[in-house]
Amino acid sequence: MSTTSPQATESGHAGTGAQDMVGGYTRSFGLSFAITSVVSSLLVILKETNEDTVLAWMKAATGHHWVTHGVFDLLLFVILGFALAKSGEGREMSADTLVSTVVGALVLSVLIIVGFYI
């Protein structure tokens, strides 16, 4: 087993099969998506439990709380994605690990919202 850099596969991309390493921006923005997803679900709960303060402020900021929520999510995603890319966090993350992280965050986000409303 070689510890050198991955060789190009027949499909034309570098990798080691199931353990393909992902590029820096793919990893960074994938992690940003996972984090933003969980934060967004927590923001839903924060808005719903603080209608007179947080929800009212979000309505006033853009005319509708969902617009403000969306803008917040987009800003968080982009800023966090570039910050993670610059910091190099998770350099050795495989594609499988990134996919598992994103799916896990999505499942957690759904459970948070469903758990709140049940």
- pLDDT tens figures, 92-115: 788 899 999 999 999 999 999 999
Q: d(Cα 44, Cα 54) in Å, to the nearest integer?
A: 10
Residue type, 83: A
Tens of pLDDT, residues 58-101: 999 999 999 999 999 999 999 999 999 998 765 678 889 999 99
Q: How far is CA 100 from CA 26, 51, 85, in A?
A: 14, 34, 19
The partner residues of 21 in beta bridges, in order of sequence, read 94
